[in-house]
Amino acid sequence: MRLNRTGAVAGALYFVIGLGWLWLGKPDNPWLAGAWLAIVAVVGCAIPGVANHVSLARAYLAAPAFVYALAGEYGFLALAVAIAGLTDLVDGTIARRLAQPTSLGGGLDPVVDGLFMGALCVGLALGGAMPLWLALVVIGRYLLPALGGGVLLAAGRRPELRHTVTGQVSTTLILFLVGGVCLLRGLQQPSAEFLAAAEVVIPLATVATFVHLGWAAVRRPARVAEAG
């Protein structure tokens, strides 16, 4: 990949919005958050396609998600989760409308999901709002498939990058349940029942996702990459 106009414009726009958040929101550790925003913006300059940059918004949102989760500012955190969920709903639609669905988009989506969900859940765990084991389950939900794909690529195979029903459902459930906990806490309402549901549903959805991915890999073996 190389620098392209869409990536440069989107990266600059997101970075300016991020600087505005740093200035107005005055989060803890602003230099660390700013460095993350700058890294994502630089990487984004090499990513083509409007839909891909809608997806990439979740990588930028990982910074405020972590900051607000760690600080216990649940109202702002619920807003960040809602925006992330919205981008997850519309990025595929935008790609299809613009006739821009690509393998890059299929691979980027779970990566940015993992970055956002990981930052969100680690922040909640460190802030005492979520058990650490549940945060690790969420991280594993996205990290293990990414590592599996990396192993296949290193072995010279070309994995098929596409969404699965269980993967989409599990991401929706994680966003809904974790976002619900954040919203209830932001409204100063009891969230124990929502968290209890998350402790059951998220591991089950994660196992279902892994089983489906394994079944799909057996049914559709990864293609061997072409020489050269």
pLDDT digits (tens, 9 = 90+) for 87-136: 988 887 887 787 666 666 667 888 898 899 999 999 999 999 999 999 99
Q: Which pLDDT does position 117 carry in this prediction? A: 92
Q: Which pLDDT does position 222 carry in this prediction? A: 47
pLDDT digits (tens, 9 = 90+) for 16-39: 999 999 999 888 888 999 999 999
Q: Of the CATH numbers 1.10.10.10, 3.40.190.10, 3.30.70.1230, 1.20.120.1760, which one belongs to the domain with range 57-224?
A: 1.20.120.1760
Each domain of the chain, given as residue ranges in start order, spans 57-224
Residue reference for tokens 């124990």: 192
Pairwise pLDDT comparison (227 vs 121), residue with the higher score? 121
Q: Is 74 exposed, middle or buried (0-12, 13-18, 19+ CB in 10 A)?
A: buried
pLDDT digits (tens, 9 = 90+) for 37-84: 999 999 999 888 888 899 999 999 999 999 999 999 999 999 999 999
